[in-house]
Amino acid sequence: MPFNHFIGLKMSDKTEFLLMLEDRSEYRNHLNTVHASALFSLAEASSGHFLLNEFSDLTGIVPVVRRVETKYKRPATGAVFSKAQFFETEKN
**Would residue 91 count as lying in a domain?**
no
First to last CA, the chain: 34
State the amino acid at position 10 in one-letter form: K
What distances in angstroms separate CA 2 from CA 15, 34, 45, 71, one per listed residue?
A: 24, 21, 11, 26
Does some domain include residue 90? no
Residues near 71 by beta carbon (within 8 Å), at least 6 away in sequence: none
Answer yes or no: is 87 within a domain. Answer: no
Number of domains, the chain: 1
Task: Say what the pTM is.
Answer: 0.83
From CA 52, how far away is CA 46, in angstroms rounded?
Answer: 10
pLDDT digits (tens, 9 = 90+) for 4-37: 999 999 999 999 999 999 999 999 999 999 999 9
pLDDT beyond 80 at 88: no
- Range(s) of the domain holding residue 9: 2-67+76-81
Q: Tell me whether residue 15 is in a domain.
A: yes
Averaged pLDDT for residues 58-75: 84
In this predicted structure, the answer to whether residue 73 has a pLDDT above a threshold of 80 is yes
Residue 86 lies in a domain: no
Cα 39 from chain centre: 7
